[in-house]
Structure 1
């Protein structure tokens, strides 16, 4: 009876120790494609090029299924604005700093996940031969990140990670009233990369 009671008391501690030995943190690096849609409003039309870039993420698992993630993304785009008086291009840096709550589904080596959270999105003009105005200024907008993807385990330390990410944010105007659409749009942001667990 005493042995059974001792075993019953030690079982939760053994499970906790086993979970503690599993890797609960990972960092990942991914290639990304920032794909903004056409947006129109306030007599302004905005087309933008696809911005190829990179995404770096840090993820910490609170439980085997729930984790927190921090993201930084960088890409470059060309924004093409049209309104009744202007037709101009602005070459810009797109940067994302976001946090998300992640929920993982565990199926052997394939681990699908969903995530969502707030972010800050920075549109900074690059003053080069593509940008056609010198008065453009930086835009910082608050938006929402959501996504779904998978992690395929290659080894206990490495996995391949692919994801569709969506970003809902107000379209940039670069401080110019005549470029303001007053519209939110949904940027598609597919990514693929590798993650290292430690």
Structure 2
């Protein structure tokens, strides 16, 4: 400032006016930038926030995948003794289910190779066959073999392990859990029986491989254990545990 004052004192009046005008122009240009800076700064901060939000969401979704598989049903036959007051004697009874095809939808969440969960929904249609000894009651009623068509729906949740290694190019997995297996007789082929839900336990083993950064293929084998459905009818009740084997092949999407 002393140097500037010395220069102003040595210059004439016109020179001083020119210097002052030059300084005002420079300050005016800076003042003109303030509204722009005040407008741009919040926009930049907002852009940073919106850019960070997808990053957090992406980090969460990266632990999830959803898959759909085709499955086949193979159920073990069971036999037992029915104690019925409708007939003059107890009788042996065999129950079997037809082989069938269905679909399995699975959502998986994996925090680490040894900590994961999966949610399963399976659907198929089967025919339950009941074969007896052809006994007759005292009043002549005939108890022969008959069939009932029913849909089978699985609702299960299980613990999932995916070891951090590959075998022949596939990442192995193992899952086990429990849930509900619901049998619902069809309208026309269900013999008028009532729906019934059974507690079920399952395990699953298999392998999967990514074919793109987001899509992969999966193949495995599952088994579900539950009491054979009797649809609440005493004449079908043998209280035997059976199991359904389900080979599966499908695809999944990794977020």
2:168 matches 1:111: no
SS at match of 1:178: helix
Asked if 1:123 corresponds to 2:183, the answer is yes
Residue 44 of structure 1 corresponds to which residue in structure 2? 93
For structure 2, the 5+ residue unaligned runs are 1-55, 82-91, 134-142
Contact 1:83 1:179 in 2 (8 A): no
1:23 aligns with 2:23: no
TM-score normalized with structure 2 length: 0.66
Q: Distance in 1 between matches of 2:162 and 2:149?
A: 37
Counterparts of 1:18-167 in structure 2 under 5 Å?
20=59, 23-42=62-81, 43-84=92-133, 85-108=143-166, 109-128=169-188, 130-131=189-190, 133-134=191-192, 136-167=193-224
**Aligned pair 1:175/2:232, yes or no?**
yes
* 1:13 corresponds to: none
Q: Do 2:113 and 2:161's aligned partners in 1 also have CA atoms closer than 8 Å?
A: no
Q: Secondary structure at the match of 2:213?
A: coil
1:63 deviates by: 1.3
Correspondence for 1:10: none
Task: Point out the structure with the larger strand share.
Answer: 1
Q: Deviations over 1:14-51 (max 9, x none)?
A: xxx9xx48821000000011210111112210121112
- 2:144 and 2:163 map into 1 onto residues whose CA distance is 50
Structure showing greater Rg: 2
**SS of the counterpart of 1:35?**
strand
Q: Residue by residue, what CA displacement relative to the aligned partner does 1:67-92 show, whole Å, maximum 9, x if unpaired?
A: 10000000000110012323110000
Find the aligned partners of 2:208 and 2:114 in 1 and give their Cα distance: 13
Q: How many residues align?
A: 178
- CA 1:36–1:153: 2 relative to 1, 3 Å: same
In the TM superposition, residue 54 of structure 1 has moved relative to its aligned partner by 0.4
Mapped contact 2:206–2:221 kept (Cα < 8 A): yes
RMSD: 1.9
TM-score normalised according to structure 1 size? 0.84
Give the structure with the larger helix fraction: 2
Relative to 1, partners in 2 of residues 1:21 and 1:175: Cα closer, same or farther, differing over 3 Å? closer
